[in-house]
Amino acid sequence: MLKIKNLYTAYGRILVLKNVSLHVDRGEIVCLIGANGAGKTTLLLTVSGLVSAREGEIFFEGVPIHHLAPHQIVRLGISQVPEGRQIFAPLTVRENLELGAYHRWRQEGKRAVLADLEEVYRLFPRLKEREKQLAGTLSGGEQQMLAIGRAFMARPKLLLLDEPSLGLAPKLVDFIMEKILELNRQGLTILIVEQNARRALEIAHRGYVLETGRIVLQGSAQELALDEDVRRAYLGRD
Ligand code: ATP
Protein backbone atom coordinates (compact mmCIF):
# COMPACT_ATOMS: atom_id res chain seq x y z
CA MET A 1 0.00 0.00 0.00
CA LEU A 2 2.81 2.41 0.97
CA LYS A 3 6.26 2.01 -0.51
CA ILE A 4 9.18 4.26 0.32
CA LYS A 5 12.28 3.85 -1.84
CA ASN A 6 15.72 5.29 -1.08
CA LEU A 7 14.36 8.37 0.64
CA TYR A 8 16.58 11.27 1.67
CA THR A 9 15.12 14.22 3.58
CA ALA A 10 17.04 17.24 4.81
CA TYR A 11 16.41 20.46 6.71
CA GLY A 12 18.69 22.90 4.93
CA ARG A 13 22.07 21.25 4.81
CA ILE A 14 21.32 18.78 7.59
CA LEU A 15 20.47 15.39 6.20
CA VAL A 16 17.95 13.71 8.50
CA LEU A 17 16.77 10.67 6.52
CA LYS A 18 19.42 8.70 4.69
CA ASN A 19 18.44 6.14 2.10
CA VAL A 20 15.30 4.97 3.91
CA SER A 21 13.30 2.21 2.24
CA LEU A 22 10.27 0.63 3.81
CA HIS A 23 6.83 -0.63 2.97
CA VAL A 24 3.48 -1.03 4.65
CA ASP A 25 1.07 -3.63 3.31
CA ARG A 26 -2.70 -3.32 3.39
CA GLY A 27 -4.14 -4.34 6.74
CA GLU A 28 -0.86 -4.12 8.63
CA ILE A 29 0.25 -2.21 11.70
CA VAL A 30 3.89 -1.31 11.12
CA CYS A 31 5.93 0.45 13.77
CA LEU A 32 8.96 2.61 13.43
CA ILE A 33 11.05 2.73 16.56
CA GLY A 34 14.08 4.80 17.33
CA ALA A 35 15.61 7.21 19.80
CA ASN A 36 14.78 10.86 20.18
CA GLY A 37 15.95 12.71 17.07
CA ALA A 38 16.39 9.61 14.90
CA GLY A 39 14.12 11.10 12.23
CA LYS A 40 10.84 9.29 12.92
CA THR A 41 8.65 12.39 12.81
CA THR A 42 10.47 13.63 9.73
CA LEU A 43 9.63 10.38 7.98
CA LEU A 44 5.90 10.80 8.66
CA LEU A 45 6.02 14.45 7.62
CA THR A 46 7.69 13.48 4.34
CA VAL A 47 4.98 10.90 3.60
CA SER A 48 2.29 13.52 4.37
CA GLY A 49 3.98 16.02 2.06
CA LEU A 50 4.55 18.53 4.87
CA VAL A 51 8.31 18.25 4.38
CA SER A 52 9.66 17.58 0.91
CA ALA A 53 11.89 14.70 0.00
CA ARG A 54 15.35 15.60 -1.21
CA GLU A 55 15.71 12.35 -3.13
CA GLY A 56 13.88 9.05 -3.44
CA GLU A 57 10.34 7.98 -4.13
CA ILE A 58 7.13 7.38 -2.18
CA PHE A 59 4.27 5.40 -3.69
CA PHE A 60 0.77 5.04 -2.28
CA GLU A 61 -1.31 2.33 -3.92
CA GLY A 62 1.11 2.50 -6.83
CA VAL A 63 0.77 6.28 -7.27
CA PRO A 64 3.90 8.42 -6.80
CA ILE A 65 3.12 10.95 -4.06
CA HIS A 66 6.50 12.51 -3.31
CA HIS A 67 5.71 15.54 -5.47
CA LEU A 68 2.13 16.07 -4.25
CA ALA A 69 0.86 18.76 -1.88
CA PRO A 70 -0.37 17.73 1.59
CA HIS A 71 -4.07 18.25 0.73
CA GLN A 72 -3.74 16.01 -2.33
CA ILE A 73 -2.14 13.32 -0.21
CA VAL A 74 -5.02 13.51 2.32
CA ARG A 75 -7.49 13.07 -0.53
CA LEU A 76 -5.72 9.93 -1.67
CA GLY A 77 -6.37 8.45 1.77
CA ILE A 78 -3.48 9.23 4.10
CA SER A 79 -4.15 10.96 7.43
CA GLN A 80 -1.62 11.92 10.06
CA VAL A 81 -2.08 12.22 13.81
CA PRO A 82 0.73 14.64 14.66
CA GLU A 83 3.02 14.48 17.65
CA GLY A 84 1.78 16.76 20.40
CA ARG A 85 -1.68 16.25 18.88
CA GLN A 86 -2.12 19.78 17.50
CA ILE A 87 -5.86 19.97 17.87
CA PHE A 88 -7.61 23.29 17.35
CA ALA A 89 -7.75 24.52 20.95
CA PRO A 90 -10.31 27.38 20.52
CA LEU A 91 -12.82 25.13 18.72
CA THR A 92 -15.17 22.61 20.28
CA VAL A 93 -14.62 18.88 20.20
CA ARG A 94 -17.31 18.48 17.58
CA GLU A 95 -15.93 21.28 15.40
CA ASN A 96 -12.51 19.65 15.49
CA LEU A 97 -14.01 16.36 14.36
CA GLU A 98 -16.04 17.98 11.61
CA LEU A 99 -12.92 19.73 10.31
CA GLY A 100 -11.27 16.35 9.95
CA ALA A 101 -13.85 15.58 7.28
CA TYR A 102 -13.83 19.00 5.64
CA HIS A 103 -12.95 17.70 2.17
CA ARG A 104 -15.69 15.09 2.29
CA TRP A 105 -18.74 17.30 2.98
CA ARG A 106 -19.31 18.35 -0.60
CA GLN A 107 -18.56 15.02 -2.24
CA GLU A 108 -20.11 12.59 0.19
CA GLY A 109 -22.68 14.74 1.95
CA LYS A 110 -23.70 15.32 5.51
CA ARG A 111 -25.12 11.89 6.16
CA ALA A 112 -21.82 10.05 5.56
CA VAL A 113 -19.91 12.50 7.73
CA LEU A 114 -22.44 12.33 10.57
CA ALA A 115 -22.36 8.53 10.48
CA ASP A 116 -18.59 8.66 10.99
CA LEU A 117 -19.02 11.18 13.78
CA GLU A 118 -21.21 8.61 15.54
CA GLU A 119 -18.53 5.99 14.96
CA VAL A 120 -15.91 8.22 16.63
CA TYR A 121 -18.26 8.76 19.58
CA ARG A 122 -18.78 4.99 19.82
CA LEU A 123 -15.01 4.45 19.94
CA PHE A 124 -14.46 7.31 22.37
CA PRO A 125 -17.62 7.95 24.44
CA ARG A 126 -15.69 10.58 26.39
CA LEU A 127 -15.63 12.76 23.26
CA LYS A 128 -19.40 12.53 22.98
CA GLU A 129 -19.74 13.69 26.59
CA ARG A 130 -17.46 16.64 25.83
CA GLU A 131 -18.82 17.38 22.38
CA LYS A 132 -19.48 21.07 23.08
CA GLN A 133 -16.41 21.67 25.20
CA LEU A 134 -13.47 23.67 23.84
CA ALA A 135 -10.73 21.28 22.76
CA GLY A 136 -8.07 23.28 24.59
CA THR A 137 -9.69 22.42 27.92
CA LEU A 138 -9.43 18.65 27.43
CA SER A 139 -6.94 16.49 29.33
CA GLY A 140 -3.92 15.09 27.50
CA GLY A 141 -5.55 11.71 27.01
CA GLU A 142 -8.76 13.25 25.71
CA GLN A 143 -6.77 15.39 23.28
CA GLN A 144 -5.08 12.27 21.97
CA MET A 145 -8.51 10.65 21.49
CA LEU A 146 -9.65 13.77 19.65
CA ALA A 147 -6.58 13.80 17.41
CA ILE A 148 -7.17 10.17 16.45
CA GLY A 149 -10.88 10.81 15.99
CA ARG A 150 -10.19 13.82 13.79
CA ALA A 151 -7.83 11.79 11.57
CA PHE A 152 -10.46 9.04 11.37
CA MET A 153 -13.03 11.59 10.13
CA ALA A 154 -11.02 11.92 6.91
CA ARG A 155 -11.81 8.21 6.31
CA PRO A 156 -8.21 7.37 5.54
CA LYS A 157 -6.92 4.10 4.15
CA LEU A 158 -3.60 4.67 5.89
CA LEU A 159 -3.24 6.30 9.31
CA LEU A 160 0.12 7.77 10.35
CA LEU A 161 0.40 7.96 14.13
CA ASP A 162 3.16 9.99 15.73
CA GLU A 163 3.90 8.99 19.34
CA PRO A 164 0.32 8.31 20.49
CA SER A 165 1.56 7.27 23.94
CA LEU A 166 3.54 10.45 24.62
CA GLY A 167 2.78 11.99 28.00
CA LEU A 168 -0.07 9.62 28.84
CA ALA A 169 -0.48 7.59 32.02
CA PRO A 170 0.01 3.84 31.48
CA LYS A 171 -3.71 3.06 31.77
CA LEU A 172 -4.55 5.59 29.09
CA VAL A 173 -1.80 4.21 26.89
CA ASP A 174 -3.48 0.79 27.19
CA PHE A 175 -6.78 2.34 26.19
CA ILE A 176 -5.36 4.19 23.18
CA MET A 177 -3.42 1.12 22.00
CA GLU A 178 -6.59 -0.98 22.27
CA LYS A 179 -8.44 1.56 20.11
CA ILE A 180 -5.65 1.54 17.54
CA LEU A 181 -5.98 -2.25 17.36
CA GLU A 182 -9.73 -1.92 16.98
CA LEU A 183 -9.33 0.50 14.06
CA ASN A 184 -6.88 -1.92 12.47
CA ARG A 185 -9.32 -4.82 12.88
CA GLN A 186 -11.88 -2.71 11.05
CA GLY A 187 -9.49 -2.60 8.09
CA LEU A 188 -7.40 0.51 8.66
CA THR A 189 -3.70 0.21 7.80
CA ILE A 190 -1.42 1.93 10.32
CA LEU A 191 2.15 3.23 10.43
CA ILE A 192 2.98 4.10 14.03
CA VAL A 193 6.03 5.93 15.30
CA GLU A 194 6.93 5.37 18.95
CA GLN A 195 9.72 5.98 21.39
CA ASN A 196 7.90 3.53 23.61
CA ALA A 197 9.11 0.52 21.64
CA ARG A 198 7.60 -2.01 24.00
CA ARG A 199 4.08 -0.74 23.46
CA ALA A 200 4.53 -0.36 19.73
CA LEU A 201 5.87 -3.90 19.32
CA GLU A 202 2.93 -5.25 21.33
CA ILE A 203 0.42 -4.10 18.74
CA ALA A 204 2.43 -4.10 15.49
CA HIS A 205 2.82 -6.90 12.97
CA ARG A 206 6.20 -5.69 11.73
CA GLY A 207 8.66 -2.99 12.57
CA TYR A 208 11.69 -1.00 11.52
CA VAL A 209 14.41 0.49 13.70
CA LEU A 210 15.65 3.92 12.70
CA GLU A 211 19.01 5.16 13.97
CA THR A 212 20.31 8.61 13.03
CA GLY A 213 18.26 8.59 9.87
CA ARG A 214 18.99 5.08 8.66
CA ILE A 215 16.98 1.88 8.91
CA VAL A 216 19.31 -0.46 10.77
CA LEU A 217 16.98 -3.36 11.43
CA GLN A 218 13.63 -4.69 10.33
CA GLY A 219 11.53 -7.74 11.05
CA SER A 220 8.36 -9.10 12.54
CA ALA A 221 7.38 -7.49 15.83
CA GLN A 222 8.23 -10.74 17.56
CA GLU A 223 11.72 -10.90 16.03
CA LEU A 224 12.42 -7.31 17.00
CA ALA A 225 11.15 -7.81 20.55
CA LEU A 226 13.58 -10.72 20.97
CA ASP A 227 16.55 -9.02 19.29
CA GLU A 228 19.41 -8.40 21.71
CA ASP A 229 20.28 -4.94 20.33
CA VAL A 230 16.65 -3.81 20.38
CA ARG A 231 16.23 -5.10 23.90
CA ARG A 232 19.33 -3.31 25.11
CA ALA A 233 18.65 -0.02 23.34
CA TYR A 234 14.87 0.30 23.41
CA LEU A 235 13.23 -2.18 25.77
CA GLY A 236 15.17 -1.39 28.89
CA ARG A 237 12.28 0.46 30.43
CA ASP A 238 8.60 0.91 29.76
P1 ATP B 1 11.40 12.91 18.41
O2 ATP B 1 10.91 11.64 18.99
O3 ATP B 1 12.19 13.71 19.37
O4 ATP B 1 10.38 13.69 17.66
P5 ATP B 1 12.29 11.94 15.89
O6 ATP B 1 12.96 10.62 15.72
O7 ATP B 1 10.88 12.04 15.51
O8 ATP B 1 12.49 12.42 17.37
P9 ATP B 1 12.73 14.18 14.17
O10 ATP B 1 11.76 15.04 14.89
O11 ATP B 1 12.33 13.65 12.87
O12 ATP B 1 13.18 12.96 15.09
O13 ATP B 1 14.09 14.98 14.05
C14 ATP B 1 15.25 14.46 13.40
C15 ATP B 1 16.34 15.50 13.39
O16 ATP B 1 15.97 16.61 12.59
C17 ATP B 1 16.68 16.06 14.76
O18 ATP B 1 18.07 16.20 14.83
C19 ATP B 1 16.00 17.40 14.78
O20 ATP B 1 16.70 18.31 15.58
C21 ATP B 1 16.05 17.82 13.31
N22 ATP B 1 14.90 18.66 12.94
C23 ATP B 1 13.59 18.36 13.12
N24 ATP B 1 12.79 19.33 12.63
C25 ATP B 1 13.61 20.27 12.11
C26 ATP B 1 13.40 21.54 11.46
N27 ATP B 1 12.17 22.01 11.22
N28 ATP B 1 14.50 22.24 11.09
C29 ATP B 1 15.75 21.77 11.33
N30 ATP B 1 16.01 20.60 11.92
C31 ATP B 1 14.97 19.85 12.32
The response to whether residue 37 sits with its C-beta less than 6 Å from ligand 1 reads yes
What are the structural domain ranges in the chain? 1-76+157-163+190-235
So what's the pLDDT on residue 171?
Answer: 87
95 within 8 A of 149, measured Cβ to Cβ = no
| Average of per-residue pLDDT across 113-138 | 94
Confidence check: pLDDT of 214 > 50? yes
Confidence check: pLDDT of 36 > 50? yes
| Average of per-residue pLDDT across 48-59 | 96
- Residue with CA closest to ligand 1 atom 19: 37
Confidence check: pLDDT of 84 > 90? no
145 within 8 A of 100, measured Cβ to Cβ = no
The response to whether residue 39 sits with its C-beta less than 6 Å from ligand 1 reads yes
pTM: 0.92
Residue pLDDT, tens place only, 164-198: 988 888 888 898 999 999 999 999 999 999 988 99
Residue pLDDT, tens place only, 10-30: 999 999 999 999 999 999 999
So what's the pLDDT on residue 235?
Answer: 84
Relative to the CA of 210, which ligand 1 atom is closest? Answer: 6
| Average of per-residue pLDDT across 96-121 | 89
212 within 8 A of 39, measured Cβ to Cβ = yes
The response to whether residue 84 sits with its C-beta less than 6 Å from ligand 1 reads no
pLDDT bin (cut points 50, 70, 90) of residue 238 is very low
CATH of 1-76+157-163+190-235, one of 3.65.10.10, 2.70.70.10, 3.30.470.10, 3.40.50.300: 3.40.50.300
Q: How high is the ipTM of this complex?
A: 0.92
- Residue with CA closest to ligand 1 atom 28: 11
